[in-house]
Amino acid sequence: MGHENKAKKAHVLIFPFPAQGHINPMLQFAKRLVSKGVKATLVSTVFLSKTTFSDPTSSIDIQTISDGFDEGGYNQAGSPDVYLPTFWSVGSKSLASLIKKLVDAGHPIDAIVYDAFLDFALDVAKQFGIRTAAFFTQACAVNSVYYHVSKGLLQLPLPGPKVSLPGLPPLEVSELPSFVCHHGSYPAWFDVVVNHQFSNIDEADWVFLNIFYDLEKEAVDWMSQFWNVMTIGPTIPSMYLDRRLENDKHYGMHLFKPKTGTCMNWLSGKPKSSVVYVSFGSMAELDVVQMAELAWGLKGSNCYFMWVVRESEQAKLPKNFIEETAEKGLVVSWCPQLEVLSHESIGCFLTHCGFNSVLEALSLGVPLLAMPQWTDQGTNAKYVEDVWEIGMRARSDEENGLVTREIVKHCIKESTEGEKGKEARKNASKWKNLARKAVDEGGSSDKNIDEFVTKLLGD
């Protein structure tokens, strides 16, 4: 508060990893800065700028850099082993050119808020004498696990069966991020989350966490020993929380085109809390057998369901599934998730537990049914069930490793009608209030953002 006039001069670059789950929270953070009088410029990639669906009324300027794959982005590269190293080498040169261009054009930059994955941004910023803030889009618990691995404090492969880390509940090895518990599974991603994330973070002026303090108090306190940590989340469009940013209902940048009319019309006829919303986010891929088990489990549950199956995944749906379930189900390629989650017809969210999806459900008071797939999702699912108590996990069958149709049916019943579901809904509504308080005026996250803005101006 009170920064509006002076802060007009401050200009911050916001640089997310070019994926939906990283762009959304950082773009939303940029809007908060703008609301406090700061100029914010989002750094996107050439490829994304050609293909994303952006809000034309947005208050955020967008500039682009090359990730080395201007025609097709991540998919063009064919694998993370190709994409990630190329992005690092091409991206750092391209980012330096962008900064030079902006400075030469009379738009100097006061700070760069970069995705903690993208450590090269800090090195580039230092060349220009620009201050830096690393932004973690993942849970503090997940970052803590990666930190311990990076420092050799957790040796891989883990002997198991449990791991005990400061500020975290005891975790089964299987509850650790997949890159750690399935050591060797995605070496290029492992390199990013374990090595790059912490390579130079000690030099960052600030470290932002997309959570609010109450959500992971002990882990935040532990992390604060090392860095100038600030919780600034949850970065959910304001109209769902504090309502201080007028008309702020969407993040503003979709990588896939949402079928808004179809989804909202379909939901509008459904009874209160009767629909299971199902989504695995923007990247996770189910195998054909798992897809079929889930499909028949949804059908067998006899509940209404809305299932987001990205176009690239739709060929895996069982033959005739859509026709056979037309009375009860809707399959769409992408939806406006926040609008859907906030609709009163939604009873529970069957999710892969991407961190944004978890934060969104928590902030909107929707109970979760967790079906994690990879990366940080298994750890998020553990927290959903045992720490935040806002849902339950659909555990895979030990024999075949599948979440079978029977398990899906049982868990949906438990989530929508059982005691676990009721408890989860009650807890979700408690967290929703705490989330709102954190971002509301004077709340813990709001104060941290104010402090950042003040510092930008002060020094």
Whole-number Å distance between alpha carbons of 253 and 24 = 7
> Which range, of 83-91, 177-185, 329-337, 446-454, touches ligand UDP by CB under 6 A?
329-337
How many chain residues touch ligand UDP (CB under 6 A)?
19
Does residue 379 belong to the site contacting ligand UDP (CB under 6 A)?
no
Select from 35, 44, 301, 337 the one that contacts ligand UDP (CB under 6 A). Answer: 337
For the bound state, the minimum distance from the C-beta of residue 355 to ligand UDP, rounded and expressed in Å, comes to 5
> Which range, of 49-57, 104-112, 214-222, 348-356, touches ligand UDP by CB under 6 A?
348-356
- Tokens of residue 353, six digits: 């537990």
**Neighbouring C-beta atoms of residue 336, cutoff 10 Å:** 18
Of 405, 343, 393, which Cα lies nearest the Cα of 368?
A: 393
CA atoms within 13 A on the CB side of 436: 13
Q: Which of 115, 205, 376, 446 is catalytic?
A: 115
Residue with tokens 């750690």: 180
Q: Which residues contact 146 (CB under 8 A, 6 or more apart)?
A: 177, 180, 193, 194, 197, 198
Nearer to ligand UDP, 308 or 368 (CB): 308
- Tokens of residue 456, six digits: 């930008």
Using a 10 angstrom Cβ sphere, with 0-12 exposed, 13-18 middle and 19 or more buried, the burial of residue 107 is middle
Q: Which 285-324 positions form the footprint of ligand UDP (CB under 6 A)?
A: 308
Q: Is 410 designated active site?
A: no
- One-character DSSP codes across 71-90: TTHHHHH-SHHHHHHHHHHH
Does residue 279 belong to the site contacting ligand UDP (CB under 6 A)?
yes
| Exposure string for 121-137, b = 16+ CB within 10 A, e = fewer | bbebbeeeebbbbbbbb
Does residue 355 belong to the site contacting ligand UDP (CB under 6 A)?
yes
Select from 11, 15, 17, 24 the one that contacts ligand UDP (CB under 6 A). Answer: 24
What radius of gyration do the chain's Cα atoms show? 21
Does residue 354 belong to the site contacting ligand UDP (CB under 6 A)?
yes
Nearer to ligand UDP, 132 or 357 (CB): 357
Q: Is 22 designated active site?
A: yes
Nearer to ligand UDP, 89 or 312 (CB): 312
- Tokens of residue 269, six digits: 């006829």
Does residue 360 belong to the site contacting ligand UDP (CB under 6 A)?
yes
Does residue 17 belong to the site contacting ligand UDP (CB under 6 A)?
no
Does residue 356 belong to the site contacting ligand UDP (CB under 6 A)?
yes
> Which range, of 2-10, 101-109, 186-194, 276-284, touches ligand UDP by CB under 6 A?
276-284
For the bound state, the minimum distance from the C-beta of residue 306 to ligand UDP, rounded and expressed in Å, comes to 9
Does residue 264 belong to the site contacting ligand UDP (CB under 6 A)?
no
Whole-number Å distance between alpha carbons of 9 and 457 = 8
DSSP percent split of the chain into helix, strand, coil, nearest 5: 50, 15, 35
Does residue 233 belong to the site contacting ligand UDP (CB under 6 A)?
no
* Residues catalogued as catalytic: 22, 115
Residues of the shown chain interacting with ligand UDP in the complex, contacts defined by CB under 6 A: 20-21, 24, 279, 281-284, 308, 334-338, 354-357, 360
